[in-house]
Amino acid sequence: MKSEAAVKSSVQKIPGLVLISHYFEVPLDYDKPSGRKISIFAREVRSTENADKDEMPFLVYLQGGPGFQSPRPESNSGWLKRALKEYRVLLLDQRGTGLSTPVTHQTMNEVADADAQFEYLKHFRADNIVRDCELIRKSLNKGKKWSVIGQSYGGFCITTYLSFHSEGLEAAIITGGFAPLVDDPDAVYRACYERLIEKNEEFYRRFPGDAEIVSRIVEHLQSNEVHLPCGELLSARRFLELGITFGFKCSGHSMNTIHYLLETAFVPNTAKETLSFVFLRGIENLMDFNTNPIYSLLHEAIYCQGAASKWSADRILKEFPQFDFNSRKKDPIFFTGEMIYSWMFDEYSCLKQFRQVADKIAAYSGWPALYDREALKSCTVPCVGTIYHGDLYVDRVMAEETAKTISGCQYWLTNEFEHDGLREDGEKVLDRLLALLKGECS
């Protein structure tokens, strides 16, 4: 199969960086190469000092998610600054995100019905993201091997890459994203709920006064019909989804962020208790479910190999009465976390149209393999990574099992960072991993 990169559609320069846009036409379904095509966008980044060095090797960045576009660089800083000393960085918009034939509630209106949407969305997991990478590598990098770095779900994609297409890789770097080698998400969610209990306890130790505020908000939402500025109903269960931020440490998404938001919850000095516009708008700004539907639609499916998810987060939640806010009136009410619930497709306006297709995805058991343990055990690609000790999103025990399965993989287990370590101090994190890759540290 041949696919040519488009002529460099644009070359942009911002202080310290040169940005080169590339577009590729790829099959929606690689088993039907002559069928429907989609577009994949990748932004090549070079430092100003190395702008003309076409011979520099590529480092391909795979974003976390699923369903989120690659970062849009604004300066030569963070992990990018460290990477650009040795590489040209390729920021890939994974299929369905950013400028890569995006999947949104608007674009999916062009796909006929729930059955057709289901057939379409089946092709947006890690297996096909990796196939896209390989097609692009053969075109853009003239078939030469390249290195990859994956944050969170990007690391899941790399684990798939190592399983099925390791011949294309020079080296692999995984940050907070050693994929659990499971066939369905149940064990993942059990571990995540257990970790989430710990995170809630940590939150209330840090901000003990917030227990009363959270209880007041939940009672208010149960007694009143409250709408967000966008017009959507704010239910108590939707409010409690703010715990999704509890595993981050920086960039306005953390426990501290929620505490400061709670400070603004109620309009002061009013006769009738009222939730403030600032608070309601803040909730909207912290949630990406409307703008990134792949995240909701495929979040459980990214763990499935020959098995159906069957709304795993909903089912496993029943094993943890700690999250039943209706029965915990006198105790701190616990926030939920990175879980996708069936009811979300009834409450988020841009997800409502996906109600039927979401149920089809949850019931589907024909998902192909994402990982090959035997291939990982015999892999010869140098692989390094970070595992964050208290990671809310990628269980440490499962991550270590995967890292130990990958032949020769070296990993840095640390409690210095949360899941967003690459964002918090990316230059330090990547420098340590590159040194590990080169055998300069242990």
- CATH number of the domain that 97 lies in? 3.40.50.1820
Backbone angles phi, psi at 169, to 5 degrees: -110, 135
End-to-end CA distance of the chain: 42
- Compute the distance between CA of residue 79 and CA of residue 382 in angstroms, rounded to an integer: 20
Q: Is position 29 within any domain?
A: yes
* Catalytic sites, residue numbers: 152, 391, 419
Residues 322-335 have a mean pLDDT of 85
Q: Does one domain contain both 104 and 130?
A: yes
Q: Is position 202 within any domain?
A: yes
Structure tokens at 53: 């060095």
Q: Does one domain contain both 25 and 167?
A: yes
Q: Does one domain contain both 53 and 136?
A: yes
How many angstroms from the chain centroid is the CA of residue 179? 12
Q: Does one domain contain both 59 and 138?
A: yes
Domain around 302 = 186-363
Q: Does one domain contain both 313 and 428?
A: no
Q: Is position 6 within any domain?
A: no
pLDDT tens digit sequence for 133-150: 999 999 999 999 999 999
| Helix 210-223 with 186-206: angle, nearest 10 deg | 120
Q: Does one domain contain both 220 and 282?
A: yes
- Compute the distance between CA of residue 152 and CA of residue 150 in angstroms, rounded to an integer: 6
Does residue 7 carry a pLDDT above 60? no
Q: Is position 171 within any domain?
A: yes
Please list, residue by residue across 363-382, b when 16 or more beta carbons sit within 10 angstroms of its beta carbon and e when fewer do: ebeebeebbbeebbeebebb
pLDDT tens digit sequence for 372-421: 999 999 999 999 999 999 999 999 999 999 999 999 999 999 999 999 99
Q: Does one domain contain both 50 and 152?
A: yes
The residue count for the chain: 442
Looking at 317, 347, 363, which one is the last position of a domain? Answer: 363
Q: Is position 349 within any domain?
A: yes
Q: Is position 4 within any domain?
A: no
Of residues 4 and 239, more confidence is placed in 239
Looking at 313, 337, 363, which one is the last position of a domain? Answer: 363
Q: Does one domain contain both 142 and 225?
A: no
Backbone angles phi, psi at 293, to 5 degrees: -65, -25
Q: Is position 42 within any domain?
A: yes
Model-level pTM?
A: 0.95
The structural domain count of the chain equals: 2
Burial class (CB in 10 A: 0-12, 13-18, 19+), 256: middle
* pLDDT confidence of residue 9: 67
How many angstroms from the chain centroid is the CA of residue 305? 19
Residues 281-308 have a mean pLDDT of 97
- Compute the distance between CA of residue 246 and CA of residue 253 in angstroms, rounded to an integer: 8
Q: How confident is the model at residue 112 (pLDDT cuts 50, 70, 90)?
A: confident
Q: Does one domain contain both 42 and 108?
A: yes
